Amino acid sequence: MRLFRAPPISHAPALQQPRRGGVLRMANRMSAETVGDRRHRLAAIVCLLGSLWLTGCSTGLLGMPGAALFSERLADKSSAEKSEDAKKAGKSLRRKKEEDNDFGSRVETPLLSEYIGMQGDGLVTLKGVGLVTGLNGQGGDPAPSGLRTQLQNEMARRGVKDANRILSSPDTAMVVVIAYLPTMCRKGQKFDVRVVLPPDARAKSLKGGWLLETRLFEEHEINNQVSLRPQEYAVAGGAILTGLGVEEVRGERQAELMAGTIPGGAISKIDRDLRIMLLSEKRGIRNAQRVAEAVSSRFHKYNKYNEKISCAEAQTDALVTLQAHDRYRNNIPRYQAVIRSIALKESDVSRRMRMESLARDVMDPERCQSAALQLEAIGEDAAPFLRDALKSDNFEVRFAAAQSLAYLGDPTGVSVLKEAATNQPAFRVYALVALSVI
């Protein structure tokens, strides 16, 4: 029988020795960490004391005369700038109070500018080929070209016989006639014409010449080639007004005589209207009719039978045609701006509330232009608010009100417009145009 043998006693200490050493090492580590924490605390205290010392030094430096002068130099502002800042602050405060007072009563009315865009307000280039007579030997036979062929065809259309003999006469010359059809031109309206000799012309001068009746067509491009549309837009003719030909350089003197102008020499054969296009997300026959009704309620004309005619008419779900009002014929951009400022639809109560709000806005130089346009778009009911704005101390406010009153047919602001035309070059053109409609 084998007996169990206990392990040697010498092995037991070998098992316990590492455990005793681990405890000692842990104690040493804790002691080292404690010392490190103390060092970190001491460093933080030193940094805090140093920052306090630096703060005190900087405070003392700011109290020195040189630092005081430096700080004053940094914060220096003129009295005018300070007063201007105070005015702006007071104005913004008053505006905020007005907005607070209007809370719950201010009406947001949709304007036509949110629904429409304008087209057809650019110039249309018209061209034609004509014959000038009465040149007293300064003319010449034109060289063979497409222009000569076009003129011969036109002469044949009118029944002119022996066209080549007429073209070869020294008293005649072939010319290119150029004109620009004005925006919102009416049938029978006259406009200026430019007459020039072709580059290869043998004629020397157009002085004293007379342009025979010439048809004018719109110029456009097809496949990078210039051509004329078959529709006849206007006819031109009359006495040609050239330069005096007094330039010192012979070439410049001759160039003055090779081109001329016929003031009012063209007569329109069509009515050219503006086009109001509804935005893509607003298109619809109902919206087009609402836009036409809103414009026609503000702008209308009378025919020869004294019947009221609407200036706007809905054509499709996206197109409304617009005729020119007589008062805005010489200022189409303002006519468009007033159209955009018309309310699409609002009740009498809403209009009254909006006019009261605009009456405050028109007294503000920053908002007077927009407010005056909206009051002008409302019509004669808004004239009293514009008259009140004539009493403002700000000239820009007075001018905006006087200009809108002029287009409403009210002469109350004539003195302001006269002052602008006389003493304010920036407003002179607009003042003269406004005076022309009163």
Give me the pLDDT at residue 305, please: 85
Task: Give the pLDDT of residue 121.
Answer: 82
Give the pLDDT confidence score for residue 290 in this predicted structure: 94
Do residues 201 and 178 touch, judged by C-beta distance below 8 A? Answer: no
pLDDT tens-digit profile of 302-333?
A: 888 888 888 999 999 999 999 989 899 889 99
Which residues on adjacent β-strands are paired with residue 176?
129, 196
- Residue pair 163/156 in contact by the 8 Å Cβ criterion: yes
- Rounded (5°) CA angle 200-204-208: 130
Whole-number Å distance between alpha carbons of 33 and 25: 12
How confident is the model over 167-224, as pLDDT tens digits? 999 999 999 999 999 888 889 999 999 999 998 888 989 999 999 999 999 877 666 5
The pLDDT-based confidence of 16 (bands split at 50, 70, 90) is very low
Hey, what are 87's tokens?
């005015």
The torsion region of residue 72 among left (phi > 0), alpha (psi -120 to 50) and beta comes to alpha
pLDDT at 407 over 70: yes
Per-residue pLDDT at 23 = 45
Average pLDDT score over the chain: 81
C-alpha angle with apex 19: 14 to 23, nearest 5 degrees?
145
Give residue 329's pLDDT. Answer: 86
Spatial separation of the C-alpha atoms in residues 227 and 121, rounded to whole Å:
22
- What are the CA-CA distances from residue 362 to residues 44, 97, 376, 411 (Å)? 64, 17, 11, 19
What are 25-39's pLDDT values in tens digits? 554 555 545 555 556
More confident residue, 36 or 377: 377
Give backbone dihedrals phi and psi of 195, rounded to 5 degrees, phi first.
-120, 125
pTM of the model: 0.68
Rounded-to-integer distance, Cα 180 and Cα 125, Å: 5
Burial class (CB in 10 A: 0-12, 13-18, 19+), 193: buried
Report which secondary-structure segment, H or E, holds 19.
Answer: helix 11-62
- Which residues lie below 8 Å from residue 18, measured CB to CB, with a gap of 6+? none
Q: What is the dihedral of CA 93, 359, 297, 436, to 10 degrees?
A: -120
CA distance 378 to 375: 5
Residue 361 is predicted with a pLDDT of: 95
Q: Which amino acid is at 337?
A: A
Q: How many CB atoms lie within 10 A of CB 382?
A: 24
CB-based burial, 171-186: b 16+ in 10 Å, e otherwise: bbbbbbbbbbbbbbbe
Beta bridge partners of 275: 119, 321
User: Distances in Å between the alpha carbon of 392 and those of 47, 198, 380, 398?
Assistant: 64, 58, 20, 6
What are the tens digits of pLDDT across the range 118-157? 988 888 899 999 999 999 999 999 999 989 999 999 999 9
Tokens coding 121 = 């307000």
User: What HEC string does 316-336 produce?
Assistant: CCCEEEECCCHHHCCCHHHHH
**Are 129 and 189 in contact, with CB atoms under 8 Å apart?**
no
